[in-house]
Structure 1
């Protein structure tokens, strides 16, 4: 069974964050970064809060940035044992020049063009302090299923393609390294005393994880912090993954039906949250491609509570910064 599982890691599926303000969040990711808002739903465990997804044309796995909206959430107190940065791939070095100018135009906090994990890079932060970095994909392949959103405000030659290197900062580099290698069979492409780089698909950035060792207080989450990274696996049978996680000594939620996909959640020894996700049916399960992101979609088990749920949500377009 282990050999069968080891061939089935496909890269990142999505990554989930906290936001205080759904309106400004939508403005930034849709109107400044040029990502499509592909799903407006709610947190299935707490339907009083929005769950927003951004990505490519259909929110293909590996392009999805998702946000839980919590109006009362405080600020992030940065620290260790947390997912600390999101890499986003752009086509070329010229794209980084375009983005440096665009971020300046919109007064977005950013640095100079530099390098990160061996890639040309431009670091920046969203309005709530979430750390992101644009990475030059430099002609490398991307998953065949990624589909460009042609209505983006960003020109085609400079659009964000999908997710790249995800940074995780931990006290114990060894323990998370063993987990990525032994459970998921990530390939280690760099290892020093304080850093390790792992790839889901050897040589490809779209499934890359950068681990940095840092002692000190654990991060206290707030607006702009990252809740979990979802790892994309092939097939729809997650039970064997649940068995493997538990056999390795980790506690998991078991398989959870999220309607748009199935999931398993668990924490590593550093208490960093991971999700294992199978493909399908995806966000078009209850919307046409044209309708994606234009209305509140609820999974079937919440549909009979629609009136109650809608009454407790402020329409995104009415949110003020």
Structure 2
């Protein structure tokens, strides 16, 4: 039986690639590790930010949709991204940094049993910094030494992801029975599940909320991707997804990884993605994120694609 070793990446909608680039690189101190396009709609940017190489579990990705309207918040949506920082002192550092840079943020609080600092990006995307408190992180996560953030307070990678649903037990059942997530807390309208015991880098908080579904727009979360090691494991999970009665996209070669997509019974879009080959498959580590990289099947259309994209720093 295979198990899910944590989050892989999470993907959002942005109206402005330029503004997103500034916030995640110059405010949060993440590295832009890949500047590419949406492979299903190559007229839009697809930007990835993370650690030195964009390791699985550190990747925040953005589709630029220049006509994106305002998100109307509601249920049946992925509603918050947790990002791990090294210590409680790091939260104090980030609170001061957010104050200096005029970033929308709250006070230091507690979330999913950890000291935490909620904040939003310029498009209202809800995030929360979580104290990792010196706990283990995946050994392949590698810090980016050119980050504008001081070394001892840099964001490590993805932590607890929050999903809000109309019918909590439906998504809970899927996580537990399909993917062997373990329930570690449960109240009337909230539960916490972990793919790796005791670790936030594979943790999901489910919240129950009645009412209309979220209307996605700028600053909304498109999907959550969870990790598998290789294609063999991915094909195993493809079989499990189909056996459970969910519609699977089947295995898709995304060049930087292979993956599949499915929606659970609350309509939440999940991706299952392989760790490799990774973003260095077509770029040296020192050059990651600098130029527009295209998968081989789009290379012949480079001139046409570039003509439709606005340059970004």
TM-score bin, normalised by smaller chain:
over 0.9
Alignment map for 1:1-321 (pairs within 5 Å): 4-5=1-2, 8-237=3-232, 238-317=234-313
The number of residues matched between the two structures is 312
Cα separation, 1, equivalents of 2:240 and 2:68: 35
Tell me how far 1:234 sits from its aligned partner: 2.4
Cα separation, 2, equivalents of 1:309 and 1:233: 31
Kept after mapping to 2: 8 A contact 1:175/1:269: yes
Cα separation, 1, equivalents of 2:304 and 2:165: 41
Secondary structure class of the residue paired with 1:180: helix
Structure 2: gaps (5+ residues): none
Q: Runs in 1 of length 4+ with deviation above 4 angstroms? A: none
Once the two structures are superposed, what CA deviation does each residue of 1:237-257 show, in whole Å capped at 9, x if it has no partner? 222211110110100100010
> TM-score with structure 1 length normalisation?
0.96
Cα separation, 2, equivalents of 1:193 and 1:241: 30
Quote the RMSD (CA, aligned, Å). 0.6
Cα separation, 1, equivalents of 2:93 and 2:282: 36
Kept after mapping to 1: 8 A contact 2:84/2:158: yes
Secondary structure class of the residue paired with 1:290: helix
Cα separation, 1, equivalents of 2:219 and 2:248: 25
> TM-score with structure 2 length normalisation?
0.99
Kept after mapping to 2: 8 A contact 1:80/1:215: yes
Structure 1: gaps (5+ residues): none
